[in-house]
Amino acid sequence: MINNKTVTVVLPARNATQTIEMTYDEIPFHIVDNVILVDDCSTDNTVEMAQRLGIKHIITHDVNKGYGGNQKTCYNKAVELKSDIIVMLHPDYQYTPKLIESMCCIISNKVYPVVFGSRILGGGALKGGMPMYKYIANRILTFIQNILMNCKLSEYHTGYRAYSVEVLRDICYEKCSDDFIFDNEIIAQIIHKGYEIAEITCPTKYFKEASSISLKGSIKYSLGVLKVSFCYFLHQIKIIKYRILV
Quick one: 7-245 is in which CATH superfamily? Spore Coat Polysaccharide Biosynthesis Protein SpsA; Chain A (3.90.550.10)
Return the DSSP state at 48.
H
- Report residue 228: phi and psi, to 5°: -60, -45
> What type of residue sits at position 56?
K
89, β-bridge pairs: 160
Tell whether pTM > 0.85: yes
- Rounded to whole angstroms, the Cα distance separating 239 from 89 reads 36
Q: pLDDT by residue (tens digit) across 114-149?
A: 999 999 998 878 888 888 988 999 999 999 999 999
Report the alpha-carbon angle 173-176-182, nearest 5.
100
Report the range of poorest mean pLDDT among 94-108, 171-185, 191-205, 214-228.
214-228
Using the predicted structure, report yes or no on whether residue 208 has a pLDDT greater than 80.
Answer: no
Provide mean pLDDT across the span 22-37: 98
Report the range of poorest mean pLDDT among 170-179, 181-190, 207-216, 229-238.
207-216
| Total residues belonging to the chain | 246
Q: pLDDT by residue (tens digit) across 169-190?
A: 999 999 999 999 999 999 999 9
Note whether 149 and 230 are within 8 A (CB).
Answer: no
Provide mean pLDDT across the span 32-50: 97
Domain ranges of the chain: 7-245
> What mean pLDDT is reported for the chain?
95
